[in-house]
Structure 1
Amino acid sequence: MGNDGGKRAARKSELRARYNGKPGPVLLRREMIAFLPACGLALLWVGPEAMVLIGLTAILVGWMTRRLPVPVEIDEEGCDPATGLLPPSAAIAEMAASLQDSQRRNRPTGCLILGLDAPDQVLRRLHPKEFDLLLRRIGERLQAQLRSGDVVTRWDGARFAVLLRPTPRLGLEGMIQLCGRLQEAVSEPYVIAEQTQEITMHIGFHLVGRSAAAPAYRDDAASQAKADARANTEAEAALSRAETAANRAMQSGPGAIRSSHSDKVAMKEPGPHPLSASVGEALEAGHIKAFFLPQISTDTGDISGFQAIPRWLHAQRGILTESEILPAIEAAGLGARFSEVMLYAAFGALRDIARDGSDFGPASLPFLPGQMSDPKLAERLAWEFDRFEIAPNRLRLIVPQAMVARLDDPVCSHTLHAIKRLGCLIELAGFGSGPVSAETIRQIGPQRLRIHRSLTAEIDHNTEHQRLTAAIVSMAEGLGLETLAEGVPGIAEHAMLCQLGCSAVQGPAIAAPMPISEFLEWAERHRTKLDATPQIGRR
């Protein structure tokens, strides 16, 4: 460090000596004396035109050799040595200053934590110095996408912090678009040591809205010290929330974006699960498959849809149901990969059914908790629809009761509305198992309500269940919504639900979940049985 400082000081001294050797105004310099006789001779021998030309040449030469200031050199002694950016410790100070400015001007601000996906794999392909060069190039691309007042700093490991200056139009949609631009910029290939490197980055962000009332600032030192301390505390909290969101994004898969959650809708960390250690291997090996549960229309008896349900073909425990699979998936942090597997299976089933020339209605697929927090879910669904050549209205996404409380989160609300704009159908599950307000139905905007299995059980002789189900069906009809009864156990319950006006049913009374090949065979037998049923004709 001392040797570098000596070289820098020597270079500055050399520059000063070189530039200080050319003092004085431009036209009074020693070098200009040679042009005086030249101008006189040009006037005598050629004329005024030549004198003017030589005079302009003299001025140009004098301007080009003018005294220049010593170039300002950036002192990188306080910067991160690998990236040349500010160190992580400076992020808190910059964020605190941004928060104070946000409160004074009553404008929103925010911060982002961006992390390299699978940095260990990238580091295995590169020398440590080459990896540092890659991080420097990433930092340069991030800076090129931001405004002049925004700050990029190094964060822990292969991560960066982006601190946004307050702006009047910064909102959730703007933050999501900014994340998309940053990801697009850093995803362009890098040439490091004659090797092409392609990377992806996950992002977690925290948005700080406008203050309800700006604090009163005083000029005395004590008040300013308190304000600075409060701003530092708030800055640490904001960056911590963004980092927590980045950790969730990292667990969700490459290129994921997550927002920090408010205290009311904060996600609980799943506890340990005995199957979490083996669920990832089973998922990649294809042991967790999608089975399909048919849904029958109570009006015609035709197949009106089907639901994709996971089944784990476990070597020791046999076939495991979704009640055992989903907790293990959440505990292992594999929700994104599990959703991809189920979505691919549902789209594959829809494609196979269409190729067979049949139409069994839309496929129902449950939302997972992590999916609602993914602002890019609608974009990925649109890509899958185009890939499989399937219309968006062929997919019904089920919103369970447990996720209703999270709709207060702006990211969850944004994701749901983006999916609805895409054209997907929405089902609201759990009617009869918990409170659902009219505002919730309006906010979600479902096309179908799912009546919980606790109401369909014993509905053939339980008058209370009959009254509650009739009220749900009546309300749904008044709102123009369909209804589906889940877990119908027998023929008697099926008949009672038909009498109460339920639109469709599913459960053991119809069929058990089955692989796609068995589902197609069952559908053919069901169609043959319907065709053989005598029809009541008119005379």
Structure 2
Amino acid sequence: MQNLSQRLGRLYLRLHSTVLSGPQIVAFLPAITLAAYWIGGERALIAAALTVPATMAAAGALSVSDPAGQREEDALTGLPLAQNIAGKVDAITHTRDGGEMTSAALAISIDDLDELVKRFGNSGRDQIVKAAADRLRDFVRGDDMLSVLEPGRFAHFLVTGQRRELEVLLQLAARIQGAFDEAFSINAARVYVSVSVGFCQPNRCPGPSASDLLDAADAALNEAMVHGTSVVRAFSADMPNRRKFAGALIDELSDALSSNAITPWFQPQISADFGEVTGVEALARWDHPERGVLLPQDFLPIIEEVGLSELLDELMLRRALISMRSWNDTTKLVPRVAVNFSVDTLRNAKLLDKVMWELDRFDLPATDLTIEVSEAVLERKHDDIVARNLSRLRALGTAVDLDGFGTGNAGLAAIQRFGISRVKIPRPIIARIDSDHSQKKLVSGILTMAEQLEIDTLAAGVETRDERVQLSQLGCGHLQGTAICGPIASDEVAQWLTAHQAELARSMPRISAGNDGKQIGNLPRDRR
């Protein structure tokens, strides 16, 4: 019996070391004891019942090991799991600061992780996540703790030093994002990624524990990721309420989009030299049944949050082209219409096909369309999908306007890479150009740079006649704003065009005669 017991023990150990390990071997216990009964009868069964469990216990198979959900560390990065270190942060705080919450927390996420999986597979994603963890380790100081929330998502507790002020945390978030400017190498390819950051200061924490702090930082990160990539957000107490508000409006917004309650209004753009119409911009307006006509700032953030940006862009493009078709059939006085595209739309691999289909549908050439993008798009300087889409649209014949130029971080190289046709100088830059010499120099510098790059210019938000005069004299190409005309409904455009052309015709003799270089002052001040 002793010899049989030894043989059964050796059989188990061979299975444990070469086939299975841990609790998995327990599944083979019935098979081992039954085999023992077949081989040696009742005596063998007794031997198996006594020997195998003892051997398993000695080998550790019956010990309680951490299941995947209870591991102390993340298997990929070697970092601790966030839920396991909150108690340690509380212990340090209680010992050092008498229980007062003095730590801050940051939650950090790699942007567009699903896209990385599509491009490089799970193994490529894992390489990036592991390398990202190594870069984040450089920001750990003293008792600080870096941990994993989920794959590609990290938590950083600031326990060491007095680093709780808002400005300090914003600077730290910016440095963390800057650490990802350098490309990763995946399968001999250079891959650029960005990260978004949410953080919570101790005095803003909704609860007394490190777990509360972590939840708040994670909520701020979720808020950041709603608004695009490479975004930073600080936690505020109204974030949960804003999400509830957005949830309550989602059905209403969907109905508004499907019922055409959200429609384009159009704001004319004119030549700064002689005042002829060079285009119109389509601007979204929501004709709300209870609140009247809502401006974009009232509903665009919610549309972005609930993921309806592409649907809105499709609607605005279609309705703008319908109006363009109508104007071409009547006045023929609108050379092109500009439509704003969100980052989500610009990252759609089928964008070119959609635009071509809509143009064909209304029998319009691509030269009748301008795509307007924000500086946030150009700040995604390594986004190959956006660059490819804009390049293909330019090749098709559409123009590309850059909105808000000078207010963000878009560099000249990005302007050229993304094929920008014209830069729009926003109201904050042109305001007081007629009275503030520094503003005038700033605008002059932008216009000179654009001329060197052979890029057209448009001043947006022009509100006074004097601003029109100054911008014309400085050499700006086009003007848009209430000094020319405010946004108007589609069915009002033809009437405005007719009136504008008549006023231009009356002013042309005075323009031709000259007026000491100030002929723009004789142009009509149309509807405000």
Normalising by structure 1, what TM-score? 0.51
Distance, in Å, in 1 between the alignment partners of 2:316 and 2:196 is 26
**Counterpart in the other structure of 1:223:** none
Per the TM alignment, residue 264 of structure 1 is displaced from its structure 2 partner at its CA by 4.0
Aligned pairs (5 A) from 1:146-165: none
Q: After alignment, is 335-344 or 270-279 more displaced? A: 270-279
**Counterpart in the other structure of 1:527:** 501
User: Alignment partner for residue 326 of structure 2, among 352, 371, 384?
Assistant: 352
Per the TM alignment, residue 502 of structure 1 is displaced from its structure 2 partner at its CA by 0.6
Per the TM alignment, residue 335 of structure 1 is displaced from its structure 2 partner at its CA by 1.6
Per the TM alignment, residue 468 of structure 1 is displaced from its structure 2 partner at its CA by 0.7
Q: Which structure is larger by alpha-carbon Rg, 1 or 2?
A: 1
Q: Could you tell me whether the CA contact under 8 Å between 1:298 and 1:502 is conserved in 2?
A: yes
**Counterpart in the other structure of 2:120:** 207
User: Alignment partner for residue 410 of structure 1, among 370, 384, 391?
Assistant: 384
Q: Alpha-carbon deviations, 1:255-288, whole Å to 9, x = none?
A: xxxxx99444898125625444421111122211
Distance, in Å, in 1 between the alignment partners of 2:448 and 2:403 is 17
Aligned pairs (5 A) from 1:442-481: 442-481=416-455
Secondary structure of 1:406's aligned partner: coil
Are positions 1:268 and 2:219 aligned together? no
Q: After alignment, is 329-338 or 443-452 more displaced? A: 329-338
Aligned pairs (5 A) from 1:374-523: 374-523=348-497
Identity %, equivalent residues: 29
Distance, in Å, in 2 between the alignment partners of 1:210 and 1:474 is 48
Distance, in Å, in 1 between the alignment partners of 2:273 and 2:123 is 53
Per the TM alignment, residue 328 of structure 1 is displaced from its structure 2 partner at its CA by 1.9
Q: Could you tell me whether the CA contact under 8 Å between 2:379 and 2:410 is conserved in 1?
A: no
Distance, in Å, in 1 between the alignment partners of 2:277 and 2:379 is 33
Distance, in Å, in 2 between the alignment partners of 1:323 and 1:465 is 26
Distance, in Å, in 2 between the alignment partners of 1:525 and 1:517 is 14
Return closer, same or farther for 1:392/1:332 CA change in 2, 3 Å cut-off. same
Secondary structure of 1:293's aligned partner: strand
User: Alignment partner for residue 298 of structure 1, among 267, 272, 295?
Assistant: 272
- Report the RMSD for the aligned CA atoms in angstroms: 3.1
**Counterpart in the other structure of 1:219:** none
Q: Could you tell me whether the CA contact under 8 Å between 1:427 and 1:446 is conserved in 2?
A: yes
Q: Could you tell me whether the CA contact under 8 Å between 1:294 and 1:511 is conserved in 2?
A: yes
Distance, in Å, in 1 between the alignment partners of 2:315 and 2:366 is 18
Secondary structure of 1:311's aligned partner: strand
Q: Could you tell me whether the CA contact under 8 Å between 1:375 and 1:414 is conserved in 2?
A: no
Secondary structure of 2:285's aligned partner: strand
Aligned pairs (5 A) from 1:181-260: 205-208=118-121
- Partner amino acid, structure 2, of 1:268: M
Distance, in Å, in 1 between the alignment partners of 2:450 and 2:122 is 38
Secondary structure of 1:205's aligned partner: helix
Q: Alpha-carbon deviations, 1:361-409, whole Å to 9, x = none?
A: 2111112121121011011111111111111121111120112122412
Q: Could you tell me whether the CA contact under 8 Å between 2:379 and 2:409 is conserved in 1?
A: no
Distance, in Å, in 1 between the alignment partners of 2:342 and 2:192 is 16
Q: Could you tell me whether the CA contact under 8 Å between 2:367 and 2:399 is conserved in 1?
A: yes
User: Alignment partner for residue 322 of structure 1, among 289, 296, 300?
Assistant: 296
Q: Could you tell me whether the CA contact under 8 Å between 1:372 and 1:412 is conserved in 2?
A: yes
Distance, in Å, in 1 between the alignment partners of 2:449 and 2:192 is 33
**Counterpart in the other structure of 2:341:** 367
Q: Could you tell me whether the CA contact under 8 Å between 1:378 and 1:415 is conserved in 2?
A: yes
Q: Could you tell me whether the CA contact under 8 Å between 2:196 and 2:225 is conserved in 1?
A: no
Per the TM alignment, residue 529 of structure 1 is displaced from its structure 2 partner at its CA by 0.6
Q: Could you tell me whether the CA contact under 8 Å between 1:297 and 1:504 is conserved in 2?
A: yes
Are positions 1:339 and 2:336 aligned together? no
- Partner amino acid, structure 2, of 1:376: K
Q: Alpha-carbon deviations, 1:445-472, whole Å to 9, x = none?
A: 2111110110121111111111011111
Secondary structure of 1:436's aligned partner: coil
Per the TM alignment, residue 357 of structure 1 is displaced from its structure 2 partner at its CA by 4.3
Per the TM alignment, residue 538 of structure 1 is displaced from its structure 2 partner at its CA by 7.8
Return closer, same or farther for 1:456/1:380 CA change in 2, 3 Å cut-off. same
Q: Alpha-carbon deviations, 1:104-146, whole Å to 9, x = none?
A: xxxxxxxxxxxxxxxxxxxxxxxxxxxxxxxxxxxxxxxxxxx
Q: Could you tell me whether the CA contact under 8 Å between 2:313 and 2:340 is conserved in 1?
A: no
Per the TM alignment, residue 420 of structure 1 is displaced from its structure 2 partner at its CA by 2.1
Distance, in Å, in 1 between the alignment partners of 2:192 and 2:449 is 33
- Partner amino acid, structure 2, of 1:373: R
User: Alignment partner for residue 282 of structure 1, among 256, 259, 280?
Assistant: 256
Distance, in Å, in 2 between the alignment partners of 1:331 and 1:457 is 31
Distance, in Å, in 2 between the alignment partners of 1:499 and 1:263 is 42
Return closer, same or farther for 1:281/1:538 CA change in 2, 3 Å cut-off. closer
Distance, in Å, in 2 between the alignment partners of 1:437 and 1:377 is 25
Secondary structure of 1:470's aligned partner: helix
Per the TM alignment, residue 419 of structure 1 is displaced from its structure 2 partner at its CA by 1.9
Normalising by structure 2, what TM-score? 0.52
- Partner amino acid, structure 2, of 1:281: D
Distance, in Å, in 2 between the alignment partners of 1:357 and 1:524 is 8
Distance, in Å, in 2 between the alignment partners of 1:538 and 1:324 is 47
Return closer, same or farther for 1:533/1:327 CA change in 2, 3 Å cut-off. same
Distance, in Å, in 1 between the alignment partners of 2:192 and 2:118 is 10
Per the TM alignment, residue 210 of structure 1 is displaced from its structure 2 partner at its CA by 10
Q: Could you tell me whether the CA contact under 8 Å between 2:303 and 2:309 is conserved in 1?
A: yes
Distance, in Å, in 1 between the alignment partners of 2:485 and 2:331 is 22
Q: Alpha-carbon deviations, 1:237-262, whole Å to 9, x = none?
A: 69xxxxxxxxxxxxxxxxxxxxx994
- Structure 1: segments with no counterpart, 5+ residues: 1-175, 177-203, 215-235, 239-259
Q: Could you tell me whether the CA contact under 8 Å between 2:391 and 2:419 is conserved in 1?
A: no
Q: Could you tell me whether the CA contact under 8 Å between 1:397 and 1:425 is conserved in 2?
A: yes
Distance, in Å, in 2 between the alignment partners of 1:331 and 1:441 is 27
- Structure 2: segments with no counterpart, 5+ residues: 1-114, 128-149, 153-190, 198-223, 228-241, 515-528
Aligned pairs (5 A) from 1:55-70: none
Distance, in Å, in 2 between the alignment partners of 1:388 and 1:427 is 22
Q: Alpha-carbon deviations, 1:389-442, whole Å to 9, x = none?
A: 111121111120112122412222222222222221111121221233221111
Secondary structure of 1:535's aligned partner: helix
Q: Could you tell me whether the CA contact under 8 Å between 1:277 and 1:332 is conserved in 2?
A: no
Q: After alignment, is 341-350 or 316-325 more displaced? A: 316-325
Return closer, same or farther for 1:339/1:368 CA change in 2, 3 Å cut-off. same
